[in-house]
Structure formats: C-alpha cells, structure tokens
Structure 1
C-alpha cells in the first residue's frame, strides 16, 4: 500500500489537500477498518499520478479515531505515541455505499476531513 499527498499552493506555500491511498488489487479487506498514519512529511502525488485506476472518495463519516493497542500493549493515547497521528477508514461503510468495490485500488481522503477528525480527538 502506498500513501501519498496531493499538494497545491495555499497561502503561498504548498499544502497537502488530499491523501491518496493506493492498494494493489485484492489488498484491501472491505469488511474491515484500515488504519493509516497521517503525520507528514508526505510523498508528493501529482495530478497525472491519479491515472485511470478505479477509486473512491472517503467521506468524513468514513473516518474514525483508532482504539487499537500497540504491539507493546500500550494504546495510541499513551504519551509515547503522542506524535503518531493515525486515523481509521471504515472500508465496510464505503463498500456498502458503493456496492462492487473489489476492483477499487485508490482511496482519496480530503485533508480537511482528516484535520476535523484529529481536532475532535484533541477536544475529547
């Protein structure tokens, strides 16, 4: 799986606007939630990189905060992992909305939605 950011200039500086998650055919389990790191720096993703791969948009309601333990038994809320920002994507919800997603190889997440979810995390 490859995670990259589509960036554009915003207030005279490049800013990531979308996260693009590329998966190989059959790599995504559409009955599960996948967790991805959203801390930069991000690999840049150019408009021509979108190509003709089948993809879907990930909506704000498809994003969740993780409640999974690390291998060492600590949770993501532990101070040791405070710099690691991770969000979950409800693949089953996307599959239910779109129907046949087996050929989908690209997920596009708006950074504004990621920031909204992480802002919610800070306010808890």
Structure 2
C-alpha cells in the first residue's frame, strides 16, 4: 500500500502506476492499494492501479487533512467531511479492502459499513 500526494503520484514523487506495475510482478504481494491519502484522490489512483494489475485493490484514505512534515503536525481545517458516497466509486474501481487511516475514527468506519449495508 502506498501513500500518495495527489491523484497520480506517491508521496516520494514517482508515478503510482509505475510502482504498481513493479510490485505487480511480485508473487508475495497479494493486493495493491492506497493508504493515508486524501479521499478525493482515491478513485483516480485506483483507476491507475487497475490499468496495470489484476490484484485486489486496497483503499484506506486519511481524513483529507495534510501532514506538515516541517512542523510535525496535521494542518487543521482541511478535513474532508467524511467519505460520503466516495467508497461506492472506490468499490466500482475494484477496491475490495476498504477502511480508514490517519485522522479517521470509528465513526468513519461505521459510516462506511452503513453505506454498503444500504447499497
């Protein structure tokens, strides 16, 4: 699983599609995905992954807040208002392992579960 800074690049700057293509060839890698990434980027990243792998896809976004590495803190006020219905799109793009990462909590996971119970 990779942390990504936008809809195309991992945090270090490489193209997500390129690194997925590399790990796709590793038999010990059972699934590929995204974690600790803003929810708004997940769909495009899953599309990039699906273009180069048939492995199961993972989506564990953070709250949408940005980590300030220089100050070692989360930038307040950038939280996205939950996942909304975005997880339905993530599932449609192939994500079968869904959850939450940094700055998400039990309420986000409950909402995620409720969304799939209704749909």
The normalised TM-score by structure 2 is 0.30
Of Structure 1 and Structure 2, the greater helix share is in 2
Task: Specify which structure has the bigger relative contact order, considering alpha-carbon pairs within 8 angstroms and separated by 6 or more residues.
Answer: 1
* TM-score, scaled to structure 1: 0.30
Query: Larger C-alpha radius of gyration, 1 or 2?
Result: 1
Bigger share in strand: 1
